[in-house]
Amino acid sequence: MYFFLSNLSFVDICFTSTTIPKMLVNIQTRSKAITYAGCITQMCFFILFVGLDFFILTVMAYDCFVAICHPLHYKVVVIHQLCVLLVLMCWILSVLNSLLQSLMVSWLSFCTHVEIPHFFCEINEVHLACSDTFFNDMVMYFAALLLACCPLNGILYSYSKIVSSILAISSTQGRYKVFSTCASHLSVVSLFYGTSLGVYLSSAATQNSRCTAITSVMYCVVTPMLNPFIYSLRNEDI
């Protein structure tokens, strides 16, 4: 659990570092300009670490599933080599997706001055390009469906099995003890998926760019900031 948690913490630090420093510089200097290369780079790393967040949360759900549903086999199944392999696969898939999306955006032609109605360069803003973005949109939506929905289905499947195991326990104290094992992870998953999906669903419904930029702060800043506090609640030393 702590191996995956350390990776999640590292990804959260990198995730916030792709957008927040530039936003703070913009506020301090009162200049909102960003170069084309800087925008593509920011977009690349943002996609990379968002994908990693999705994948690592899914791997942690699998860890909870084995720990609760197959506790006697946990040390045999979840060995160090498997943990390293799972995290490595998360990185490979995220890097490939990030490079694909960034390269496709770099092939588009943009006007000299483009105003992005956001506080960072987001891939949703490729419609501001002067060239046709239909193929880019299709690839973007397919990747979002594959890299967000598949991990979510894995998390939901894991928790369906966990809930079944909890309901099979007769004592209330036993149920509470088992549920507390995965309560922190469930809170983080709910917070991350709830805020990120809420932002994109609300932006698709309202088309209010200012509202979208403000609500994006929830999953770009607030959620990574709360993760250490959520996981620290069960740590008696802290």
pLDDT band at 126 (very low <50, low <70, confident <90, very high): low
Question: Who contacts 59 (Cβ-Cβ below 8 Å, separation ≥6)?
Answer: 4, 86, 87, 90
Which residue's structure tokens are 């690839």? 139
In the prediction, which pLDDT does 104 show?
84
Please give the share of the chain, as a percent, with pLDDT higher than 90.
23
pTM over 0.95: no
CA distances from residue 9 to 56, 78, 155, 226 in whole angstroms, order as listed: 10, 20, 19, 11
Residue 83 in this model has a pLDDT that exceeds 90? yes
If one counts every other C-beta atom within 10 angstroms of the C-beta of residue 125, the result is 18
The model's pLDDT over 90-117, given as tens digits with 9 standing for 90+, comes to 999 999 999 988 888 887 777 767 777 7
Share of the chain residues as helix, strand and coil, in percent rounded to the nearest 5: 80, 0, 20
In the prediction, which pLDDT does 2 show?
82
What the chain holds in terms of domains, given with CATH numbers, is 2-232 (1.20.1070.10)
DSSP string, 157-172: HHHHHHHHHHHT---H
DSSP conformational letter for 124: G
The model's pLDDT over 130-167, given as tens digits with 9 standing for 90+, comes to 777 778 778 877 887 788 788 889 999 999 999 888 88
The answer to whether 120 and 19 are in contact (CB under 8 A) is yes
In the prediction, which pLDDT does 179 show?
81
In the prediction, which pLDDT does 200 show?
65
